[in-house]
């Protein structure tokens, strides 16, 4: 009878170890599975381009959406953790009005001047969206009071605009 008790105790210990190993493996798989899902979700949000007819269909936070002029159409966006990049169509008048309102300093108006593009950049792809720079492109660089920077490359002839915005 003592052999049966020893055998039974040995089997019980093996079952407990097996159960513990099983729970550890399940917990590890669940832990890594969770982080894979989080990574895929972040890639989907931050690593893809989205297309929008106008600003109203942009589902990003107000911080990013508020940097796109309300009159912009045919919008392509790409966002990462601290920046976003966009191309869209807008008239220069509407762009300047937006910049004057959005980046006014103490009621004194917009602080950036319209300047021509560096001639070395003409016909070259620019930024993450590979926007090819036309010869007539003008540049507006804006800075917010919190240190964020925003650069708008605008073709006044076609209304095509490329935007790079860095914020935190």
SS3 state at 82: coil
Residues 80 and 124 reside in one and the same domain: yes
Residues 41 and 78 reside in one and the same domain: no
Let me know: does 142 contact 167? Beta carbons within 8 Å: no
Backbone dihedral angles phi then psi of residue 54, each to the nearest 5 degrees:
-155, 180
pLDDT at 82: 74
Other C-beta atoms lying within 10 Å of the C-beta of residue 127? 17
pLDDT at 115: 92
Mean pLDDT confidence for 89-118: 82
| C-alpha–C-alpha distance, residues 87 and 163, integer Å | 6
pLDDT tier at 18, thresholds 50, 70, 90: confident
Mean pLDDT confidence for 44-64: 77
The total domain count for the chain is 2
Range of the domain at 22: 1-46
Residues 17 and 91 reside in one and the same domain: no
DSSP bridge pairs for 84:
79, 165
Residues 16 and 61 reside in one and the same domain: no
DSSP bridge pairs for 50:
77
pLDDT at 148: 82
Give the residue with greater pLDDT, 154 vs 104: 154
Other C-beta atoms lying within 10 Å of the C-beta of residue 68? 23
Residues 114 and 56 reside in one and the same domain: yes
Mean of the per-residue pLDDT values of the chain: 83
């Amino acid at each position: 009878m003592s052999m049966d008790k020893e055998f039974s105790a040995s089997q019980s210990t093996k079952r407990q170890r097996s159960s513990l190993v099983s729970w550890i493996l399940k917990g590890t798989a669940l832990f890594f599975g969770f982080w894979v899902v989080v990574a895929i979700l972040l890639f989907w949000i931050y690593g893809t381009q989205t297309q929008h007819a106008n600003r109203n269909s942009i589902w990003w936070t107000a911080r990013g959406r508020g940097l796109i002029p309300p009159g912009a159409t045919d919008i392509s966006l790409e966002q990462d953790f601290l920046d976003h990049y966009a191309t869209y169509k807008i008239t220069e008048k509407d762009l300047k009005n937006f910049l004057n309102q959005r980046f006014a300093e103490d009621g004194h108006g917009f602080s950036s001047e319209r300047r021509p593009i560096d001639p070395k950049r003409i016909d070259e792809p620019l930024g993450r969206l590979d926007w090819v720079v036309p010869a007539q492109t003008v540049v507006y660089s804006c800075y917010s009071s919190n240190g964020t920077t925003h650069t708008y490359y605008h073709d006044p002839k076609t209304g095509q605009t490329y935007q790079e915005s860095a914020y935190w």
